Structure 1
Amino acid sequence: MNAWTQVRVNRGVAAVLGLLVLSACLLVAAVPKVTQTAYDDALRVAMAGSDPSRADLVVVSKRQSVPQGPLTPAVLLEEDRSFRAALPPELRPVVTAPDTGDSHYVVRKNENPVISVDGQVRSYQYLNLAWTSGAERHVRYVEGRPPGAPGELDGGPLFEVALERRAAEEMRMRVGATVLLGGMQKLAARVSGLFEAAGPDSGYWRHNDALRRVMKVRKPGADTDDWYATGLVADAALPELGALYSNTTYRWVLGVDGPSVTTLRAPELVEAVRTFRGAVPVVLEGSSPGALDTALDSLLQEHLTRLRVAESLLLFVVAGLFTVALGVIALAVRLLAERMRHALVLMRARGASLARIAATTTGAVAAVAVPAGVAGYALSYALPGPLTLLVHLGPLAVVAATALLAAGQALAHRWPRTDQREDVATSRPSPRRITAEAAVVVLALAGTYLLRQRGLTTQTDERGFDPFLILVPAGLTLAVALIVLRCYPYPLRLAVRLAARLRPAVPFLGLTLAARARPAATLSVLILLPALAVAVFGAVVSGGLATTQQTSAWQQVGARARLDSALPITPEIVERIRRVPGVREVVTATRTVSLLRTDLQRVVVLAVDTRAYRDLLRAGPLTLPDAPVLVSPDLADRGPIELLGPSPRALTPGGIVTGLPRVYGGAPLVIAPPDGSPVNTVFLDGDDLDPRPLLAAVNLQDTQVTTLDGVLSGIAGAPFTATIERAFTVVTFALAGYALAAVLVALVTGGADRTGALSHLRALGLSTAQARRLTVLEISPMIVLTALAGLLLGLALPAVLGPGVDLSSYTGGLAVEVYPADLTTPVLLTVGLAVAAVLGAFVYAALGRPSGERRRPT
């Protein structure tokens, strides 16, 4: 029998099968590409937001003796080339060329105390001397000129230096000023010019931040900060600078090109960085001690850990999607085999072997599935993303599974078949089938227990994800579907007894047909219930993520907006803040760091009016006990607290506060009444609070504004979080479409038997309208009961599986413990899908020919 002939004859069913295979292949190829792109975006965000010492490869060396020969840029460039030659092959493509990108090298003489400036004695000031390659491209002179060659003053070298304009103003060093420096060697410097940073956000300035600002450091036991400024010297001064071997640091920055670092490369890059770390001392041997100063391997390892968690969660949900997709494809294959049944029965009667029957069904299905699979695979190339192995193997696996399902249909022709009426009596399941179903239920329960005990996302960085645990949700939904499949005829039989007492015959007949469900209808239960359960689960988890993200943002800000300043905030500034548009309430506070007298533990002390602060928090999830002195849980059992510092205090806690310690990094927190100290923190409540007007109202340096909306958008907009949210959305819509298709395919599959039954009833006087209502009533109980079971299972899955799933990576570090009680979205999703399925049955009954031909009684 020609396979294409069967496809042409049953072209409607073939088109449905082809569409299902195409969509499944598109999903299985596109989802890995899209998610891989999101993973790469997350890695780029992590690298761009990290400190340069973490993202770039920095070789640091401290000279212990005068180098051989004069130090020149050519000598440093040659050493840079030696480091690059030692790079492992995996690192070379991601490292930028010398003096391009972030790559450069630096020589800096540190710890040079300022003795005097133009004859005026200075204390607590230091002027470091630095040379950097390519500095002329990164500075813009606003006064004076670039530094030149060094001279001599009182028998020591006199370096010409350029200072950043604001740093020079803070250090009170003008152009032309002569600075005498102390230390082991006699030094002097003359300010030749002032500059500003060109491209201040570049990686160059992130590595050389000391060049553009005054660093203030308080040494242990000191009462005053030491001020450090750094002056830039010329290329001509490099030989003299190299001769100052005391406290001289050499740095070669091998910049890493962030966009070229991808998630697929990350594992090999981690090993390559570790190999290079061991090679650096070998390269430096004989010249000076040094080491590789980078955390690129740690940064990539952190990303891989989050990646494995994200992959586990995505597989957790997508496994259910692919299970449902293959189930619908199985329904469509069964429908095509039913349409070919008479031809196959005739072939079997004429002596065709079972292998011949299998080849015929497989050929007809493959004639549709292969082109559809190729089309779905080709369409996936329209989406951006790298081509992974799963992109190629996924569609192939779908087509192969479809072919196996087609070959399995030949088992129905092991013995000669006769026309049967599956609607007359229900078939009894075989002992083998009952055993298989019981095994599925037992494995699902065991997997659920293991998932709760071991966790889905724990130890994924060391061992990877567990395939068995990944399949637990799909197995659990399948187990519940099997239980519903075995149990749902019993309430229907009770309804049949009640309907038998009614005068109309349609309810009795419809419920009777529903209770005697055909195999296609029972298979649709196995698809509809998991689809609804996973979709509802995704909706509930999305709601839980949104709620927890909101709570996490409140815990990180402590109000709708928080303003922190290193300088005192005066009452005049507070009044200006009150007049900023959108501000409704203002609560001032003083944040300090103190020590406990008992064990010298470091604690954060927030001096604030607790009552006013409690009123400001009334619109959020944070609450404060009604007491003037509060402590975090880690200080709850200490009793009275004595604080050391400039203003010692003895406090008696009156309550415990949770959540707020995260505002200050999770350190132990003490909330106490104001003690008259200068205000440095302001909590704000209002609408649409913009940081820019608030900063303008404060007008103080080193002031930072943190808003609730900004933190929340950062949490929700993170690439990993956005990927999970998009995955839930896509999976929900796809599952809804597959569930609806399953119901419609089941209706069409049982169309022939239904037509035969209705033909007999039409001969007994059943009208066309009654026949259509009978068709809808036959399918509706199965849809309603399955939808209700899917809704309940979807609502229970977060509570059942929640302890084993760590979602803190998507909520700003806060564990998801409470899922919202709002059932609007899950109920609307379930009702919408059930109504759509029932309407599909109604349209099928109204537009099709379910009534059959009216037969004449014999």
Structure 2
Amino acid sequence: MNPWTQVRVNRGVAAVLGLLVLSACLLVAAVPKVTQTAYDEALRDAMAKSEPKRTDLTVVSRRNGPPQEPLTPAVLLDADRRFRAELPSALRRAVAAQGAGSSHHMVRKSENPVFAVDGEVRSYQYLNLGWVSGTERYVRYVEGRPPGEPKKLDDGPLFEVALAKQASEEMRMPVGSTVQLGGLQKLSATVTGLFEPIEPDSGYWRHNEAFRRVMKIRKPGADTDDWYATGLVAGTALPELGAMYPNVTYQWVIGVNGPAVTTLRAPELAEAVRAFRGAVPVVLDGTSPGSLDTGLDFLLDEHLSRMRVAESLLLFVIGGLLTVSLGVIALVVRLLAERMRHSLVLIRARGASLPGIAATTAATVAAVAVPAGAVGYALSYALPGPLTLFVHLGPLVVVAVTALLAAGQALDHRWPRADRRDDVATSRPSPRRITAEAAVVVLALAGTYLLRQRGLTTQTGERGSDPFLILVPAGLTVAVALVVLRCYPYPLRLAVRLAARLRPAVPFLGLTLAARARPAATLSVLILLPALAVAVFGTVISGGLATTQQASGWQQVGARARLDSALPLTPEAVERIRQVPGVGNVVPATRSTAMVRPDMQQVIVLGVDTRAYRALLSGSPLVLPDAPVLVSPDLAGRGPIELVAKTSRALTPGGVVTGLSRVYGGGPLVVAPPDGSPVNTVFIDGAGMDAKQLRAAAGMPDVQVTSLDDVLADIEGAPFTATIERAFTVVTIALVCYALAAVLVALVTGGADRTGTLSHLRALGLSTAQARRLTVLEIAPMIVLTALAGMLLGLALPAVLGPGIDLRAYTGGLAVEVYPADLTTPVLLTAGLAAAAVLGAFVYATLGRAVAPRLREGE
């Protein structure tokens, strides 16, 4: 039998099958590409937000003896080449070229105490000496001149140095100053010039922060900070600088090319970094073995862990979508086989074998599925993203499954096909089918229990995704669909008994036909219920994510906006902040650290008027108990708290505040009344506030403004979060379309039998209007009951699966514990889908042609 002949004869069904296969292949090929692109965006975002010291490769070595040869820039450059040659091949392809990006090398002599500046004795000051390659491209001299070659004096070398302008002002070392340095070797330096950094936010300066500002460090047990400035020396000073020891450090920074680091290459890059860390060569005589200072492998491991969490949740959603799409394809394949039934029966009667029948149906379906699958696969190339193995294999799997479903239709021709009336008697399921369905239900329940205990996404970073647990949610929806399929005839039979007492015959006949559902109708239940359940689940999860993201943003900011200052804020500064446009309520506070007796645990103390702060938080997810002293949950139950600080005091907590400790890192927090300490934090309420104006109003250096809108934008705009939100939206739309297609296909599949039944009833006097109502009554109970069960299952899935799904990657680190009780979207989705399906049944009944006249003529 020529398959193309069957395609032409049944071109309507073939077109629907082709469209379904095309959409399924497009989804299975495009979703991995888009997802992989989002993973790469998340990785690039994580690298961009991380310090270059963490993402770049920095080889560090310290001199522990006199050098064998003078140190020059050429020697350091040659060492850089040898380091690069020792990199693993995977890592070598991901690093920037010498001198490109943030790549450079540096020598620094540190821990040089300042004895005097121009004869003025100084204390707690240090002047480090350093040389960095490429400074001519990154500095702009604003006073004086660049440093030159050092001079040899009787009491040690005199280095010429250039200082950053800000460091010169803070250290009080103007141009022309002579600085006496101490330590094991006597040194001195003269300041020849002041510079300002070009592109101060570049990776080059973020590696060399000590060169452009004063570092203030408080050593253990000290009462004051030590101030460290770093002077820039000339390349001609390297021989003298390299001959010194100890406290001489060499660094070679090998910049990493961000676009070359992708998610697909992340595992091998992390392994390459670990391999190089254990095999850093020694390249200079008299130096210690080199060590690799980088956090790139840890950053890649963190990204892969988060990616596996996101992947597990996406696989669940996409798995449900593919299950439903293949179910609809199975319905259409069955419809096509029904249309081919007479031809297949004929060739079977003429001696065709069962494999021959299977080959004929498979060839007919493949004639449609293969071109449609190829088109869907080709359309996926219009979307950006890397080509993974799943992109290529996914469409092949869809086409292969479609052909197998077609070949399986040959099983209906194992024996001669006798005429039967499916509308008069309902066939009983075989013991094998009952056993298989019971096994699905038991496995779904067992998997649900394991998922709640072990979690779907909690340990994927260490152990990887569990395929069984990923399939549990989809299996649970199928199990519920099977239960509904077996149970829904019973309430209908009760309705049939009630309808039998009514005078009109249409309710009785329609409900009787609904209770004796045909195989196509029962198969549509297995599609409609999972589709609606997953769609409702997606809407509920999206609502839970949005609610938790809001709560996470408030917990990270503590108000609509928060201003933190390193220096005390004057009352005038607070008043200027009140006058900024958009600012409503303002609550000043004091942030400090203290110890808690008796274990001397360090805590954050927030001195604030809790009543005023509670009023500012009114209507927000943050709730403050009505008490002047509050503690975070990790300090609850301790009783009175004795704080040890500059001003020690004893406090009695009156309540526990949840979430506020995340404002300052999540550590132990004590909220207490102000003790008179200077204000350094301001909580602000209002709308339309500008961070620049708030910062300018404070009038202080090192002021940081944190806005709730900015934090929420970061959370919601994160690639992982945006990906899952888009996935839920696309999947919901696709599932609704597939569910409607399943109902319509079920209507068409049973159309021949239904037309015959209606024709006999029309011959007995059934009117056209009654025939339409009869068709709607036959379809509506199944649709309504299945839609209701799907909606209830979708609403229950977050509660059932919630403990096993870790969604913190999408909410800024806050666990999703509460899902909104808003039923508007699920109810509208369910009602709209059911109404559209029932309307489709009505339209189908309206457009159908009655054949009662032919029956009356004896046909």
1:579 pairs with 2:602:
no
Please name the residue that 1:674 is paired with: 674
Please name the residue that 2:764 is paired with: 764
CA drift of 1:225 comes to 1.3
| 2:68 and 2:285 in contact (8 A); partners too | no
Please name the residue that 1:473 is paired with: 473
- The CA deviation string for residues 609-658 of structure 1, in whole angstroms up to 9 with x for no partner, is 11111111112111111111111122222211111121111111111111
| 2:744 and 2:840 in contact (8 A); partners too | yes
Please name the residue that 2:162 is paired with: 162
1:370, 1:290 → 2: CA distance? 59
Please name the residue that 1:194 is paired with: 194
Paired residue secondary structure (1:372): helix
2:480, 2:846 → 1: CA distance? 33
Please name the residue that 1:151 is paired with: 151
CA drift of 1:224 comes to 1.6
| 2:282 and 2:289 in contact (8 A); partners too | no
1:476, 1:524 → 2: CA distance? 17
Q: Spell out the pairing of 1:760-799 with structure 2 (5 A cutoff).
A: 760-799=760-799
- The CA deviation string for residues 274-323 of structure 1, in whole angstroms up to 9 with x for no partner, is 11011115666874333111111111111111111111111111111110
Paired residue secondary structure (1:189): strand
CA drift of 1:770 comes to 2.3
| 1:775 and 1:845 in contact (8 A); partners too | yes
Please name the residue that 1:462 is paired with: 462
Q: Spell out the pairing of 1:527-676 with structure 2 (5 A cutoff).
A: 527-676=527-676
Paired residue secondary structure (1:91): helix
Paired residue secondary structure (2:304): helix
Please name the residue that 1:137 is paired with: 137
2:517, 2:441 → 1: CA distance? 22
- The CA deviation string for residues 662-705 of structure 1, in whole angstroms up to 9 with x for no partner, is 11111111111111110001111111232111101112111111
Paired residue secondary structure (1:80): helix
1:695 pairs with 2:688:
no
Please name the residue that 1:78 is paired with: 78
| 2:445 and 2:476 in contact (8 A); partners too | yes
Q: TM-score if structure 2 supplies the norm length?
A: 0.98
CA drift of 1:14 comes to 0.3
| 1:772 and 1:851 in contact (8 A); partners too | no
Q: Spell out the pairing of 1:515-530 with structure 2 (5 A cutoff).
A: 515-530=515-530
2:388, 2:779 → 1: CA distance? 42
1:196, 1:509 → 2: CA distance? 90
Please name the residue that 1:448 is paired with: 448
Please name the residue that 1:268 is paired with: 268
Please name the residue that 1:809 is paired with: 809
Q: Spell out the pairing of 1:396-475 with structure 2 (5 A cutoff).
A: 396-475=396-475
Paired residue secondary structure (1:568): strand
Q: Read off the aligned partner of 2:125 and give its amino acid letter.
A: Q
Please name the residue that 2:207 is paired with: 207
Q: Read off the aligned partner of 1:200 and give its amino acid letter.
A: P
- Greater mean alpha carbon deviation, residues 169-178 or residues 640-649: 169-178
| 2:65 and 2:286 in contact (8 A); partners too | no
Please name the residue that 1:293 is paired with: 293
Please name the residue that 2:377 is paired with: 377
Q: Spell out the pairing of 1:297-336 with structure 2 (5 A cutoff).
A: 297-336=297-336
Paired residue secondary structure (2:835): helix
1:299, 1:574 → 2: CA distance? 40
CA drift of 1:121 comes to 2.2
1:582, 1:139 → 2: CA distance? 40
| 2:67 and 2:286 in contact (8 A); partners too | no
Q: Structure 1 residues 720, 813: closer, same or farther in 2, change over 3 A?
A: same
- Count of aligned residue pairs for this structure pair: 858
Paired residue secondary structure (1:276): helix
Q: Read off the aligned partner of 1:254 and give its amino acid letter.
A: I
CA drift of 1:45 comes to 0.9
CA drift of 1:468 comes to 0.7
1:769, 1:144 → 2: CA distance? 100
Q: Read off the aligned partner of 2:91 and give its amino acid letter.
A: L
- The CA deviation string for residues 39-90 of structure 1, in whole angstroms up to 9 with x for no partner, is 1111111111112221111100110112211110110011111111111111
1:295, 1:735 → 2: CA distance? 43
Q: Read off the aligned partner of 1:171 and give its amino acid letter.
A: M
Paired residue secondary structure (1:61): strand
CA drift of 1:136 comes to 0.8
| 2:175 and 2:192 in contact (8 A); partners too | yes
2:476, 2:311 → 1: CA distance? 20
1:857, 1:77 → 2: CA distance? 102
1:438, 1:640 → 2: CA distance? 59
Q: Spell out the pairing of 1:703-742 with structure 2 (5 A cutoff).
A: 703-742=703-742
| 1:771 and 1:851 in contact (8 A); partners too | no
1:739, 1:64 → 2: CA distance? 74
- Greater mean alpha carbon deviation, residues 478-487 or residues 348-357: 348-357
Please name the residue that 1:506 is paired with: 506
CA drift of 1:184 comes to 1.7
Q: Read off the aligned partner of 2:737 and give its amino acid letter.
A: G
1:687, 1:466 → 2: CA distance? 46
| 1:771 and 1:850 in contact (8 A); partners too | no
Please name the residue that 1:843 is paired with: 843
| 1:762 and 1:854 in contact (8 A); partners too | no
Q: RMSD of the alignment, in Å?
A: 1.4
Paired residue secondary structure (1:855): helix
Please name the residue that 1:753 is paired with: 753
Please name the residue that 2:855 is paired with: 855
2:371, 2:106 → 1: CA distance? 61
Gaps of 5+ in 1: none
1:655, 1:393 → 2: CA distance? 58
Please name the residue that 1:254 is paired with: 254
Q: Read off the aligned partner of 1:415 and give its amino acid letter.
A: W
Q: Read off the aligned partner of 1:448 and give its amino acid letter.
A: T
2:171, 2:385 → 1: CA distance? 52
| 2:64 and 2:287 in contact (8 A); partners too | no
1:830, 1:164 → 2: CA distance? 67
2:328, 2:318 → 1: CA distance? 15
- Greater mean alpha carbon deviation, residues 452-461 or residues 431-440: 452-461
2:11, 2:535 → 1: CA distance? 31
Q: Structure 1 residues 851, 590: closer, same or farther in 2, change over 3 A?
A: farther
- The CA deviation string for residues 361-397 of structure 1, in whole angstroms up to 9 with x for no partner, is 0010000000111111111111111111100111100
Q: Structure 1 residues 196, 851: closer, same or farther in 2, change over 3 A?
A: farther
2:34, 2:270 → 1: CA distance? 24
Q: Read off the aligned partner of 1:588 and give its amino acid letter.
A: P
Q: Read off the aligned partner of 1:540 and give its amino acid letter.
A: V
Please name the residue that 2:36 is paired with: 36
| 1:539 and 1:825 in contact (8 A); partners too | yes
Paired residue secondary structure (1:401): helix
Q: Read off the aligned partner of 2:382 and give its amino acid letter.
A: A
- Greater mean alpha carbon deviation, residues 841-850 or residues 492-501: 841-850
Q: Read off the aligned partner of 1:840 and give its amino acid letter.
A: G
Please name the residue that 1:386 is paired with: 386
CA drift of 1:153 comes to 4.4
CA drift of 1:499 comes to 2.3
- Greater mean alpha carbon deviation, residues 527-536 or residues 645-654: 645-654
- The CA deviation string for residues 708-744 of structure 1, in whole angstroms up to 9 with x for no partner, is 1111111111111111111111111111111011011
- Greater mean alpha carbon deviation, residues 616-625 or residues 471-480: 616-625
| 1:762 and 1:855 in contact (8 A); partners too | no
Q: TM-score if structure 1 supplies the norm length?
A: 0.98
1:752, 1:717 → 2: CA distance? 52
| 2:61 and 2:287 in contact (8 A); partners too | no
Q: Read off the aligned partner of 2:543 and give its amino acid letter.
A: G
Paired residue secondary structure (1:280): coil
| 1:125 and 1:227 in contact (8 A); partners too | yes
Q: Structure 1 residues 118, 153: closer, same or farther in 2, change over 3 A?
A: farther
| 1:755 and 1:852 in contact (8 A); partners too | no
Q: Structure 1 residues 683, 287: closer, same or farther in 2, change over 3 A?
A: closer
2:576, 2:669 → 1: CA distance? 29
| 1:63 and 1:289 in contact (8 A); partners too | no
1:849, 1:101 → 2: CA distance? 74
| 2:330 and 2:405 in contact (8 A); partners too | yes
